[in-house]
Structure 1
Amino acid sequence: MSSAGVVAYRGKGNVYVNLTNRCTCACVFCLRSFTDQVYGYSLRLEREPSAPEVRRAIERELAAEPVREVVFCGLGEPTLRLPEVLAITEWLSAHLIRSRLNTNGLGQLANPSVAVVDQLVAAGLSAISISLNAADPVAYQRTCRPTYDHAFPAVLAFARTCVAAGLPTQLTVVD
C-alpha cells in the first residue's frame, strides 16, 4: 500500500481497518467531506487492499501491542468489500480476536444475493455498530443521502436481523 492511505490504524485501544473509500451514503456530517485524517493517519486509499494485505497490516499492529478489538471502520462502507470482511473476520475469530463492524446498515442492499448477517455471524463477528443517524425516513434521506431508495427501512430491517441472529448490535446517531 502507498503511504497515501493506511489500511490498519490505531485508536482508542483498538485497531481499525480501512477497506475502501467507497460508500453508499453521502452523509452531511461525514468525515470524508472534511478530511482524510483520523487519529493522525491519512485514510484516503489509492487502491483497495486485498484480504492478505489487510491481514498483514493487522498483524503488524497486533505485534506492536495488544488491542481490545479490531474494528472495520475507515473512510468508506466496509460491506462494499463483504468478501474481504468475511475472510478477515474468520481469521480474527480463529485467533480469538474480537471484531466489530461499523456500518451504515445498507449492506444487505449492497449485497442482495447473499444473507449478509448470517455470513457475518458464521464468520465469527463479535459485534456490529449501525449508524442510524435519523428518527424517520425524511430526516434520514436529508442527513445520510443514501444511494438507495427506501434506505431507512432497510437499515431498520438490517438491525432487526442482526438482533434476531444474536449479534450484539448498537445503533448510533449524531447530534
Structure 2
Amino acid sequence: CIVYLIGSSLYVALTNRSPGLSLISSRGPGFEFAKKFKRLRNDYEPSCEDVVKRISCALEEHEFPNWDKKSVVFAGAGDPLLKQDVLIKCCARLLLNGDFKFRVITSGLFSASVPSKLKDAGMQHITVGLNAHSAELYDRIMQPEYPLASVSAVEQEQYASAFDVALEFIRNSVAVGLETEITCVDNPLADLKKTEGLSVNLGATFRSRSYFPDSTAESKL
C-alpha cells in the first residue's frame, strides 16, 4: 500500500529498496510492522501523481479518522530517499493545497547536498536510523553496500566509510535547519549511551527503538 496510518500520522511508502539493511530489518527478526501495512509490489514504485492522488482521496473520503490531516511521514519498507525526486515533488504539490508537516525516515546514506533540497521542498523533520556509534559497529549492524550507489563516486572519495557518509548527512540536516532526530535500535551490539552522546554532539535529538529477537509488536515508527 502507498499510505498507511500510525498514530495520528499518515505514512507514505515510496520503495522497498534500501542501501544496505533496511531500517525495518534492523529492528530484529521478530519485528512485525503495523497491521494495516502491506509492502509495495517489488515491481512497483509510486509516482508523485500516484502519491498525491492517494492522499487526496484519503482526505476527501475521511479514510483515516485518526489522522490529524497534517502529519505526513515518508517511510515504508525501504528508504524513501532512494526516490528523493518523487518525494520532493510530492512535498511541493501537497503544499499547494494544504498545510502539511513532513518528516522522512532514512538511513542517511545519501549525498550531503540532499538535506538542503529537502528543506527547500518544505520538509521540516528528519529521522536518521544510525543504529551505531562507530564505523566498525555500523558496518556490522547495518551492512551497507559500500561504495554506495546512492552517493556519487566523487563525493565518496571524501569519506572513509558509509558511517562517515551518514554523519555528514546528519550534520548538513542540522545545519540547514531540519529538526533532526537520530535513532538507535537497542540490539545486543548497540551502545545506546554512546550513540546518544554522538547525537548530542551532532546537534540532533536521540531516541532508542526496541529490538525484537523473537517476539512481535506493532510498529511505532
- Bin of the TM-score, shorter chain as denominator length: 0.7 to 0.9
The aligned counterpart of 1:158 is 169
SS at match of 1:107: coil
Give the number of aligned pairs: 165
Higher mean displacement: 64-73 or 13-22? 64-73
Does 2:27 align with 1:24?
no
Q: Are the counterparts in 2 of residues 20 and 76 from structure 1 also a CA contact under 8 Å?
A: yes
Once residues 57 and 30 of structure 2 are traced to their aligned partners in structure 1, the CA distance between those partners, rounded to angstroms, is 29
Cα distance in 2 for partners of 1:165, 1:40 equals 35
* Aligned counterpart, 2:137: 139
Higher relative contact order (CA 8 A, sep 6+): 2
- Structure 1 residue ranges without an equivalent (≥5): 1-5, 110-114
Tell me which amino acid in the other structure corresponds to 2:18. C
Q: Which residue number in structure 1 is paired with residue 107 of structure 2?
A: 104
Cα contact 2:131–2:184 (8 A) shared by 1: yes
Instruction: Give me the whole-angstrom Cα distance separating, in 2, the residues matched to 1:34 and 1:21.
Output: 19
Q: Are 2:72 and 1:70 aligned?
A: yes
Question: CA deviation digits over 1:113-153, x for unaligned, max 9?
Answer: xx211110110101101111001111110000011241101
CA RMSD of aligned residues (A): 2.2
- Give the Å deviation of 1:90: 1.2
- Residue pair 2:4, 2:36 contacting (<8 A) in 1 also: no
Q: Deviation per CA, 1:69-95: give whole Å up to 9, x if none.
A: 100000011111011010011123332
1:45 paired with 2:41, answer yes
Determine the structure 1 residue equivalent to 2:88. Answer: 86
Native 8 Å contact 1:92 1:99 kept in 2: no
Displacement of 1:60 = 2.3
Which residue identity does 2:84 align to in structure 1?
A: L
User: Is contact 2:110-2:165 (8 Å) kept?
Assistant: no
Matched with 2:54 is 57
Which has the higher mean CA deviation after the structures are superposed, 61-70 or 117-126? Answer: 61-70
Match of 1:174 among 166, 185, 205: 185
Q: Mind listing any 5+ residue stretches in structure 2 that lack a counterpart?
A: 148-160, 187-221
Contact 1:27 1:143 in 2 (8 A): no
Q: Contact 2:10–2:73 (CA<8 Å) still a contact in 1?
A: yes
Deviates more, 1:32-41 or 1:140-149: 32-41
- AA aligned to 2:37 is Y
Which stretch shows the higher mean deviation, 92-101 or 63-72?
Answer: 63-72
Secondary structure in 2 matching 1:90: helix
- Aligned-partner Cα distance in 1 for 2:41–2:85: 18
Alpha-carbon distance change, 43 to 34 in structure 1, aligned in 2, over 3 angstroms: farther
